[in-house]
């Protein structure tokens, strides 16, 4: 199973928090921009790609036991969101890629979606 470190490399991501989790296996990948989507998708060990940058996205990820979140489109992430993720050793990554291309690159690299 691919690791979070591989995901970061493929997406040329910037790790903002959760460095200690980079060698954990990514069980599946999902994408969603509504908190209800993330709640519905979430499974332990999953990484979700999103454009959400609020602290609520990190809280939702922690409650649902996600491995982490990847914020797409090089979005500006509020410091309060980054601090919350750091305090909880939650993996938070930012990438310049848009959701569509990021998902495609991960799929081609062998990462599995929640439905696969």
Q: 43-77: per-residue pLDDT in tens?
A: 899 999 999 999 999 999 999 999 999 999 999 99
What is the number of other CB atoms lying within 10 angstroms of the CB of residue 91? Answer: 26
Q: How does DSSP classify residue 21?
A: G
pLDDT class of 40 with cuts at 50, 70, 90: confident
Contact 92, 85 (CB under 8 A): yes
pLDDT at 115: 78
Contact 84, 59 (CB under 8 A): yes
116, pLDDT greater than 70: no
37, pLDDT greater than 90: no
Q: Which two tokens stand for residue 37?
A: 């989507």
> What does pTM read for this prediction?
0.95
pLDDT at 27: 95
Instruction: Provide the CA 86 distance to its chain's centre, in angstroms.
Output: 14
């Amino acid at each position: 199973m691919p690791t979070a470190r591989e995901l970061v490399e493929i997406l040329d991501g910037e790790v903002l928090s959760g460095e200690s989790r980079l060698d954990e296996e990514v069980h599946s990948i999902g994408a969603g921009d509504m908190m209800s989507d993330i709640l519905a998708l979430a499974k332990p060990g999953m990484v979700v790609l999103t454009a959400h940058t609020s602290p609520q996205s990190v809280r939702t990820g922690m409650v649902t036991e996600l491995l982490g979140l990847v914020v797409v489109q090089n979005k500006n992430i509020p410091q309060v969101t980054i601090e919350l993720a750091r305090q909880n050793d939650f993996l938070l990554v930012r990438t310049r890629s848009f959701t569509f291309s990021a998902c495609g690159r991960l799929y081609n690299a062998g990462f599995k979606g929640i439905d696969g």
